[in-house]
Amino acid sequence: MSKPPVFFSLSDLFEFTCRRNPDALAYALVRDSLELESQLTYRQLERQVRSLAYRLAHEVKPGTRALLLYPPGLDVACAFWACVYAGLIPVPAPAPDPIRMKHSVPRLRNIIDDAQASLILTNSSIMALSSECSLPQNVGPITWMATDHLVADATDSISIDMPRLDSSALAYLQYTSGSTASPRGVVISHGNVLAHCKALTLAGQVEDSSRSLCWLPYFHDYGLLHGIIAPFYAGIPAYLMSPITFLRRPLRWLDAVDRFAITHSGGPNFSYDACLRAARQQPDWQADLSSWKVASCGAEPIHPDTVRRFIETFGPRGFKPASFSPAYGLAEATLLVTMKPVPVEPTFLTVDAEALADSIVKESVPSNRGTRTLVGCGEPLEETCVKIVNPTTLLECPSGVVGEVWLSGTGIASGYWKKQDETETTFKATLPESGEKLYLRTGDLGFLHRGELFLTGRLKDLIIVRGRNYYPHDLEWTAQQAHTGLRRGCGAAFSIESETGERVVLVHEIEKQVSDSDLTNMVNCIRRVLADEYELEIHTV
C-alpha cells in the first residue's frame, strides 16, 4: 500500500484519509442477515464528523472527557472521530445493559467518576435509559447528548478552530476490564496510537486491497483499534458486526469473511473455539475463507488444540494455516506487543512440564509424558522491545528461564489516569543495564525462544504448591476436557490457604442438572485428569 505521510495527531490523520479517497467505503455495519444496514464513504463520514465536532466545539472546551455510550454501529465511530476533531478526549465505555443493570451500572458510574467526564455522547434509546439506571442526566457538570437525531450540515464549509495537537497530547482513555479491581483509564497519546497503527499495518502486511471485519465491542482495546482506528489509518474498508451476532451464531463471522472478501479479522481463543463447536453441529455448513490473510488471535491464553483444530476444520473451506496469527497485547501497550509474521505458520513448542513448574524451559517432544505444548505469540512489533525479567530480583533472566514480560517502545502508554502510585509501579520500572530507560511491567509470565514470545501465565494468578508453579488457565483447560458434561470455558482454578500451605480449588459449571452419582463421576474425572497430568491433588471441586 502507499506510504502515508507523517502525522502528529489523529486529527491530522482524519483530514488526510478523508480527502485522499473521498468516495471509497470507510465503514459499514453488517446485519445478522449479512446485508449492510448502513455504510459511510469517507466523504459522508467527514461531513457527519465535522458537523458533530462543530456542535461539540461550541458546547464544551478542548480536553473535556466525553463518554461514548453506544450500541454496535457507525454512530460510535462518528462520535469518536468528532471528539478527536474537536480536541475532546473520547472515553469508550459499555452502554448500560437493561437486563443486567445491577452489574453494568456500578462499573459505568466508576468510569464516569474516575474520568471526570462532563459530557456523555449516546443515542436516544440509551439516553432514555439513563434515568432508569440512575446515571447523571443534565445535572451538575454532566451533559448528555443524543447524536442520532442530529442532522449533519449540508455544506462542506463548516469551519472549526481546532486545537493543533502534538504527538504527546492525550488522544483517548482506554479503561481496563476492572475484573479484579476498579476500572483504570490507560492514558493513550496521539503518538502511541499512530505509532501502533503503523506497526500493525506493517506486521499485518495491509495493502490497499485489504478489508477489515470486527465484531468485538468498541470499548475494548481490541475492538477500538482493530474495528475503528487501524483500518482508518490504513485507508481500507472497515466492516463492523455486533458482538451479539457472533455470540448467537459464531459461524456468521466466517460467513461475513466470505461475503465481503475480508482479509483481516480476529478474536480471542474462545471465538475460534465457538466456531469449531458450531461447525460440529452444522456439518453441511460451507464458506470460502481463502481471502482471509490474517486471522489474529489474542486477548486471552491461546490453546494449541484450538489452533490446530481450526486449521484442520476450516482448511477444506479455503483457510490457510499461515493465516492463523497468534498475538499478545494489552491495553497498557495500546493493543498489540507481538504478532506472528505474515505469512508464517503458527509455532508450537513442547516443553517439559516439571521443568516449567520450576520456571525452566526444557524442550521435549509431544509423545513424551509430562509435557506441555505452548503456542508462540510472534515477534515484537516495530519499535517495541521485550525483556524477560525476574519479578523478585528485577534482573533480566538468562535465556531459557521464565520471567515477567517487560516492555518499552513507542506504543507503550504513559500511565493510568490520575493514579500516580500505580503508574510509578507499573510503567516506570528500570533495569540496571538500561540506564534511565523505562519499562512497563505487564504482570504476564513468559520467555523468548528464537525471537518469539511464549506466554506461560499471569504473575498474580500463579498457584504455588510445595514450591511448584501451576498456571490456573492450564488447570482449567485440562479439567474441562475431563467430562463432556462440563461447560467449556466456564471453570476457575485458584488457591486457598490451609494449615499445610496453599491448596487448589477448582470451580466448574456443568451443562445441565445431573444426578448426584453423575456429579460424583464428574468430580472424580476432574481429580483424576489433574493428578495424571500435573501430579496435583485438588483440595475441593
Q: Is 449 helix (H, G, I), strand (E, B) or coil?
A: strand
> What's the whole-number mean pLDDT along residues 220-244?
96
Q: How far apart are CA 164 and CA 374, in angstroms?
A: 46
Residue 99 pLDDT > 70: no
Q: Say whether the peptide bond before residue 98 is cis (omega within 30 degrees of 0).
A: no
The pLDDT, as a whole number, for residue 131 is 65
Confidence of residue 7 (pLDDT cuts 50, 70, 90): confident
Q: Cβ neighbours of residue 286 under 8 Å, at least 6 residues apart?
A: 317
Report the distance separating Cα 323 and Cα 469, nearest Å: 33
Task: Return the DSSP state at 492.
Answer: E
Angle in degrees, 0-180, between the axes of helices 190-203 and 10-20, rounded to the nearest 10? 50
pLDDT, tens only, 359-413? 999 999 988 888 999 999 999 999 999 999 999 999 999 999 999 999 999 999 9
Three-class DSSP labels, 475-493:
HHHHHHCCCCCEEEEEEEE
**Cα 366 to chain centroid, rounded:** 30
The strand ranges marked E within 313-358 are 324-329, 336-339, 348-352
* DSSP category for residue 311: H
- What is the per-residue pLDDT for 498? 65
Q: 303-307, 342-346, 347-351, 430-434: which range is least confident on average?
A: 430-434
pTM of the complete model:
0.87
The pLDDT, as a whole number, for residue 210 is: 97
Work out the pLDDT band at 135, boundaries 50, 70, 90: low
Separation of CA 314 from chain center? 24
CA gap 441, 210 in Å, rounded: 34
Closest CA to 410 of 167, 80, 63: 167
Residue 198 has pLDDT above 80, yes or no: yes
What is the DSSP track for 273-302? HHHHHHHHH-TT-----TT--EEEE-SSPP
Cell 463421576, residue located: 521
Mean pLDDT score, 511-520? 79
Instruction: Give 152's pLDDT tier (boundaries 50, 70, 90).
Output: low
Q: Phi and psi at residue 75, in whole multiples of 5°? A: -60, -40
Beta-carbon contacts of residue 369 (< 8 Å; ≥ 6 apart)? none
| The three grid cell numbers given for residue 353, joined into one nine-digit string | 512440564
pLDDT tens for 428-441 read: 999 998 778 999 99
Q: Is residue 180 over pLDDT 50?
A: no
Q: Judge contact between 526 and 506, C-beta under 8 A.
A: yes
What are residue 48's DSSP bridge partners?
none
pLDDT on residue 101: 58
* Spatial distance between the Cα atoms of 159 and 241, rounded to a whole number of angstroms: 33
Q: Summarize the confidence of residues 415-430 as an average pLDDT.
A: 94
Cβ–Cβ under 8 Å, residues 233 and 20: no
Cell representation of residue 367: 509423545
Q: Which of 17, 105, 30 is nearest to 69 (CA)?
A: 105
pLDDT over 70 at 161, yes or no: no
CB 405 within 8 A of CB 397: no
On the question of pLDDT at 443 being above 50, the answer is: yes
Paired strand residues for 448: 453
Top-confidence residue, 190 or 110: 190
